[in-house]
Amino acid sequence: CMLTDGLVSAYLDELAQQRRQSPHTVSNYRRDLGVLGRLVGELPGNHRFDTIQTHQIRRFIAQLHARGLGGRSLARMLSAWRGFYRWLGQRSETTQNPVDGVRAPKTSKALPKVLSPDEANRLLDSSSDAVMEIRDQAMFELFYSSGLRLAELAALDLASLEDILAGEVRVLGKRNKLRLVPVGSKAREAVGLWARRRGEVASAEQIALFVGQRGGRISPRLIEERLKRRALAKGLLTGVHPHMLRHSFASHVLQSSGDLRAVQEMLGHASIASTQVYTHLDFQHLARVYDSAHPRAKRK
């Protein structure tokens, strides 16, 4: 059903080698193109990639939507297919791009889940003297204090320690964009305590700020597991993850300041549209206050 497996492999190789796409992105494209190959193979007759028409692409999307795939997944899949056909056209392997003009069905955008300020305080309330708990406290305080992404925190090196203790952290975010974010007093205190104990577990040549029990750089997966364990121990909802602390940081700062542009800058969002989701969370908070306080809004 495919033109050749070699063309797909060549396209994915170009994504990885020349366009410097991440292994995760290349893996997603490989899977999405595999789905397209199976759908082409299910068509009656002897179809190949270069014989597919736009109406058949629309039919594929309708089939996948009926099987339960949401709008975001389908949009990503269409993007992978569209890019592949564009690449085929540049090499004269096809004369048309049947994916052009096809859009994924819209799905309602779920608001990010956040902790309340009380829940965040409960999560971060710790008095343990165990070195791994001290490390966890420093990591979780930094997440909530500065709105870091999981990968950004895991990538921090010892070289950043001086800046953090001085009240700021430099991180390299998406698209290699460098940003400077303030660090609150609680996080500075927690990181300082971890810095004094880090030598008990870190390998001699290790440059990572946060390390695991074996002395090497801590993995993102372990950070997620430690946060989930802490949340369960504190009686919080299951499913607490590092990005929830980032969401909570953004929501709480916006509720207190109302400064959307400042929150955008601290989160490292390229577009303010990405940050505006937190205004909806803020409105939900105001709506709850209104419902509980306004005499004509109270339910009898």
Looking at residue 66, which CATH number applies to its domain? 1.10.150.130
Residue 81, domain member (yes or no): yes
pLDDT at 55 exceeding the cut of 70: yes
Determine the pLDDT at residue 181. 85
- Measured N-to-C along each axis, helices 242-257 and 220-233 cross at an angle, to the nearest 10 degrees, of 70
- What confidence tier does 271 reach under pLDDT thresholds 50, 70, 90? low
Print the domain residue range for 234. Answer: 117-291
Q: Are residues 259 and 129 in the same domain?
A: yes
Q: Are residues 70 and 159 in the same domain?
A: no
Weakest mean pLDDT among 22-31, 45-54, 94-103, 277-286? 277-286
Residue 100, domain member (yes or no): no
- Residue 170: left if φ>0, alpha if ψ -120 to 50, beta else—which one? beta
Closest CA to 180 of 189, 191, 170, 167: 170
At 50, list the tokens.
Answer: 């270069």
At 5, list the tokens.
Answer: 């497996």
Cβ atoms of residues 208 and 157 within 8 Å: yes
pLDDT at 300 exceeding the cut of 50: no
Beta bridge partners of 49: none
Determine the pLDDT at residue 26. 87
Rounded CA-CA distance 39/33 in Å is 10
The total domain count for the chain is 2
pLDDT at 278 exceeding the cut of 60: no
Q: Are residues 154 and 31 in the same domain?
A: no
- The secondary structure of residue 102, as a DSSP letter, is -
Last residue of a domain, one of 90, 106, 135: 90
Residue 149, domain member (yes or no): yes
Rounded CA-CA distance 233/249 in Å is 21
Last residue of a domain, one of 72, 90, 108: 90
Q: What is the pLDDT of residues 138-185, one digit of tens each?
A: 999 999 988 888 999 999 999 999 999 999 988 887 767 788 888 999
Cβ atoms of residues 244 and 228 within 8 Å: no
Active site positions, annotated? 149, 174, 243, 246, 269, 278
Last residue of a domain, one of 90, 108, 132: 90
Residue 262, domain member (yes or no): yes
Q: Are residues 81 and 132 in the same domain?
A: no
Q: Are residues 187 and 278 in the same domain?
A: yes
Q: What is the DSSP string of 116-144?
A: -HHHHHHHH------HHHHHHHHHHHHHH
Residue 196, domain member (yes or no): yes
**Tell me, what CATH number does 159's domain have?**
1.10.443.10
Q: Are residues 74 and 144 in the same domain?
A: no
Strand runs (DSSP E) across 47-142, as ranges? none
Q: Are residues 71 and 124 in the same domain?
A: no
Determine the pLDDT at residue 154. 95
pLDDT average, residue stretch 63-76: 88
